[in-house]
Amino acid sequence: MQPESLSFVLVGHVDHGKSTLIGRLLHDTNSLPDGKMEEIQEAARAEGRELEFGYIVDHLREERERGVTIDTAQTFFSSDTRDYVIIDAPGHKQFIKNMITGASQAEAAVLICSAAEGVQEQTRRHAYVIHMLGLDQVLVLYNKMDMVDYSEERFREVRRELREFLARLGIRPTLEVPISASRGDNVATRSLNMPWYDGPTALTALDKFRKIPPATEKALRFPVQDVYHVDGVELTAGRVESGILRKGQTLRFMPGGRALAVKEIRQYLSEGLPQAEAGECVGLALDGDAPRRGRVGCPADDAPQPTRRFQATIFWLSPLPFEPDRGELTFKCATQEEPCRIAALRRRIDSGTLESLDAEDGRLMETEVGEVLLETDEPVVLESFYDVQELGRFVLLRGHDVVAGGIVTHTAGDAAPAHHETIS
């Protein structure tokens, strides 16, 4: 039986210790392959560098880029309880792109904040994205306690400031732990330097996160990735984003598709499967011509109404601002791609301060958040992010560049948003 695995995204302001924490976790949980630590120490000596735990991550990243030994996108470390996958977010742009496109499905978030520097701009912006993406398991680590002489007063001061900001977003941290990643205090072992703290270590706190079950209880949604011909059989390939897909089931491929029965379900090295669940990639043999990429298979009696107008919240990523007369964008959700436009900018928000900004000119600047009305050229199949996340997150492209990430807040463009709270 495979050990349980949990993925979490690690976020925080630059130089607040993300790489050092990862290196420390790898080292303290003995998660490096045999001989790897000695190899890294030798590499550091050869470069005339003192080995710091952040260097471990730098070394592994170089190996990954050369395609050898370790892929740091895979499981990073294991506790006595489970395996962990860390989604490292070196900056807000990478975080948004990875999270919203669903390249990595985080079940929790770890927000790291330096006790020495306190709450910074990117701390607040990453917190906003955690809120926007609906992650409700959040561990806050107050790092670099060694640089403030392990002061309880300083810890409480920074914690108070960050708590106030998180409360405005509706985020209540699951746990908060003062640590020193460089020295190992309260990371995997309890610190003797902070007798005033009697809570769990960072590793124990991670073990308290609950495993998020796959979205099998939601309505079936199967976006078509491509069509292949294998041994004379036409297979419609895709990923079951939600629900359970069963052999013999009748699917309607939206928008505008006809109903087709599932004759066979295949996976790599497996044929004749009785069903496939959320998160599994499969090929389907259907009783008719395969639908094209971008169509979404749904139960014939439970197909969402395709739409061209919907409400969304977007996080603008491009250094070039959005301007109404700047041309069309491309909307990309699951495997769907359609030309689109921002028909209305209803609210503009500074993601670092949560202040509402003037939206009359219709512009959005880098790192700003917009509550918008989007229109696509042709109908698309969407769900509210708060109902089915898998078809409620998207990116916007200008040419080949991702310029924004967002979530669908309501699928009817002129209706009031459902399940969506506006930040005051």
Which pLDDT tens digit goes with each residue over 226-283?
999 988 889 999 999 999 999 999 999 999 878 999 999 999 777 789 999 998 999 9
**pLDDT at residue 59 tops 90:** no
Burial of 358 from C-beta contacts in 10 A (0-12 / 13-18 / 19+): exposed
In this structure, the dihedral spanned by the alpha carbons of residues 126, 129, 133 and 134, taken in order and rounded to 10 degrees, is 70
How much is the average pLDDT of 122-137?
Answer: 89
pTM: 0.83
Entry field: residues in the chain:
424
How much is the average pLDDT of 159-179?
Answer: 96
CATH superfamily of 307-410: Translation factors (2.40.30.10)
At the topology level, CATH places domain 227-299 in Elongation Factor Tu (Ef-tu); domain 3 (2.40.30)
How much is the average pLDDT of 356-377?
Answer: 93
Overall CATH class of domain 5-207: alpha beta
How much is the average pLDDT of 82-109?
Answer: 71
How much is the average pLDDT of 31-60?
Answer: 72
What is the domain partition of the chain in residue ranges?
5-207, 227-299, 307-410
Fold match, 5-207 / 307-410: no
Lowest mean pLDDT segment, chosen from 64-68, 123-127, 326-330: 64-68
- Predicted confidence at residue 191, as pLDDT, reads 95
Q: What would the pLDDT profile of 294-310 be if each residue is shown by its tens digit?
A: 999 999 888 889 999 99
How much is the average pLDDT of 120-145?
Answer: 92
> What is the maximum span of the chain, computed from C-alpha positions, in angstroms?
71
